[in-house]
Amino acid sequence: MSSVRVRFAPSPTGELHVGGARTALFNWLFARKHKGVFILRFEDTDIERNRPELIEPIIESLRWLGLLWDEGPYFQSQRFSLYREWAERLLNEGKAYKCYCTPEELEQKRQRALAAKQKPLYDRRCRALSPQDEEKFMREGRQPALRLKIPESGTIIVNDAIRGQVEFDLAELDDFIILRSDGRPTYNFAVVVDDITMGITHVIRADEHLNNTPKQMLIYQAFGHPVPVFAHVPMVLAKDRSKLSKRHGATAVFEFRDRGILPEALVNYLARLGWSYGDQEIFSREELIEKFSLEAIHPSAAIFDEEKLLWVNQHHLKTSDPKRLGELVRPFLVKLGILSEAEAHAVPSEKLVQMVVLFRERARTLAELAEPARYLFTDNFSHDPEAVQKFLTPEKIPLLEGLAGALAAVEPFTATEIERATRAYLDSQGKTLKEIAQPCRVALTGRTTGAGLFETMELIGRERVIARLRRASLAQQPQASL
Ligand code: GLU
């Protein structure tokens, strides 16, 4: 049994987006690869920014991606007494001290420092208070915060598994607060107490937390606890190299799900976002687990490329079990307004499987894969006017009508039998398939592209095929609905 223990620690301040999902994935892959433990922890101590209603959707997003955790979810908001206990331990050991400065006093000092063009660092006024001073402050009713005593000079080096060595100057840091005067822990303190008590061995998280790491290392030092391995994962940027945001299109996991991206495709794509294994692009979940390593994560920012995600999704659509895809397509029939809930429910699985097999070569999403259902399973589709004009010419109409008659007796109504009957009819008329294939397709589907004609006819079904061929001439009229 390996001792690897990692965690994904979202703050419920937004939905699960590409960047967060990738952090979760890297942690999950690392845990699975090393047969370790993957922990889910919500960092929900920021009262102002917290949105508890987002916790469930974040959990749901992780489930959908298949990134299941072994422990948790833990909630920092339920662990306040632990943080207080741990902070008091440092106080008792002389590694932290009470600071009685009021927010107003601190703000004044801050303003003064800024005016003098200095970094506003705490001046350590309360680090060596006399018992008399302390008594005086207490009499004034001041509630102390706890600050960590840190060395006043020197450097602290983060040995990052992705970024290498990153050096921080201690003179740039101050005796920062670990426990606020109201008893709430500060962010960095809660993270470290959690990471220690949860036995975290590797901290794999977003790059933006690198600046927190020296402070967190000082807290580890104060507790005399070895630091975990840190791995700060570079940002995900949009194509224009700005921070990925809503204006670039979909960024939340659920948006991709709702557009018909497969979870395994999103996982595949996210893994490749900053991590690589030679030039391999397509990975199964098992392969990712086998091949993943922190060392192969690139230290530079990754660029989110939606076209590539669609390409990866297309690949997974082509190779996934058609039966499963059929069921995944079903809700899209409703979402796209093709069928009612009840109608979608009633479509036999075999029909969906047939549709998937016929159309998946061309579809990039489940939504695209569902689209042909409009003409396969309903009559509520429109004819492309250009296609109608080009192919449903007056001399073709009698041929289509004749074909309708020939198909009436085909038994069973399968692609093979339909093809046989069509060819026999065309022979009898001295015509070729080429002459009728496109007109027939336009009459049946309203468009010029699609899957194999005879397979499509089988799926549309005899009645509708015959009706559409018979009424092909009506398609020429504007707005005609067959
Ligand atoms: N709660 C932090 C976030 O959502 C993660 C902190 C960490 O992983 O250490 O960005």
CA atoms within 13 A on the CB side of 245: 5
Given a cut of 80, whether residue 1 has pLDDT beyond it is no
Q: Give pLDDT, residue 248.
A: 83
State which H helix or E strand residue 31 sits in.
helix 18-33
Residue with CA nearest ligand 1 atom 5: 9
- Residue 374: what residue type? R
205 ligand 1 Cβ < 6 A? yes
Given a contact cutoff of 8 angstroms between Cβ atoms, the answer to whether 313 and 360 are in contact is no
Catalytic residues: 246
Please identify, by atom number, the ligand 1 atom nearest to the C-alpha of residue 10.
4
39 ligand 1 Cβ < 6 A? no
209 ligand 1 Cβ < 6 A? yes
41 ligand 1 Cβ < 6 A? no
The CATH fold of domain 320-371:
Helicase, Ruva Protein; domain 3 (1.10.8)
191 ligand 1 Cβ < 6 A? yes
Whether the full predicted model's pTM is greater than 0.85, yes or no, is yes
Alpha carbon distance 359, 455 (integer Å): 10
464 ligand 1 Cβ < 6 A? no
213 ligand 1 Cβ < 6 A? no
Domain with CATH 3.40.50.620 in the chain: 81-233
Gap from CA of 41 to ligand 1 centroid (Å): 9
Q: Give pLDDT, residue 48.
A: 86
Alpha carbon distance 469, 461 (integer Å): 12
Given a contact cutoff of 8 angstroms between Cβ atoms, the answer to whether 150 and 218 are in contact is yes
Confidence of residue 271 (pLDDT cuts 50, 70, 90): very high
215 ligand 1 Cβ < 6 A? no
Give the CATH number of domain 81-233: 3.40.50.620
Domain with CATH 1.10.10.350 in the chain: 385-476
Gap from CA of 369 to ligand 1 centroid (Å): 37
Given a cut of 50, whether residue 219 has pLDDT beyond it is yes
Phi-psi region of 130 (alpha: psi -120 to 50; beta: other; left: phi over 0): beta
Residue 203: partners with Cβ closer than 8 Å, 6 or more residues away: 6, 7, 195, 228, 229, 230, 231
Domain 385-476 has CATH 1.10.10.350: yes
Phi-psi region of 49 (alpha: psi -120 to 50; beta: other; left: phi over 0): alpha
What are the start-end ranges of the E strands in 225-282? 229-233, 236-237
Please identify, by atom number, the ligand 1 atom nearest to the C-alpha of residue 43.
1
Q: Which of 209, 217, 230 to mutate to test the pocket of ligand 1 (most atoms within 8 A of CB)?
A: 209
Q: How far is CA 72 from the centre of its chain?
A: 20
Gap from CA of 42 to ligand 1 centroid (Å): 9
Mean pLDDT of 410-436: 97
Confidence of residue 480 (pLDDT cuts 50, 70, 90): very low
How many Cβ atoms are within 10 Å of 299's Cβ, its own excluded? 13
Please identify, by atom number, the ligand 1 atom nearest to the C-alpha of residue 204.
8
Q: What is the mean pLDDT of the chain?
A: 95
Please identify, by atom number, the ligand 1 atom nearest to the C-alpha of residue 216.
9
Mean pLDDT of 47-59: 93
Given a contact cutoff of 8 angstroms between Cβ atoms, the answer to whether 268 and 282 are in contact is yes
Q: Give pLDDT, residue 475.
A: 73
Q: Give pLDDT, residue 476.
A: 61
Gap from CA of 173 to ligand 1 centroid (Å): 20
Domain with CATH 1.10.8 in the chain: 320-371
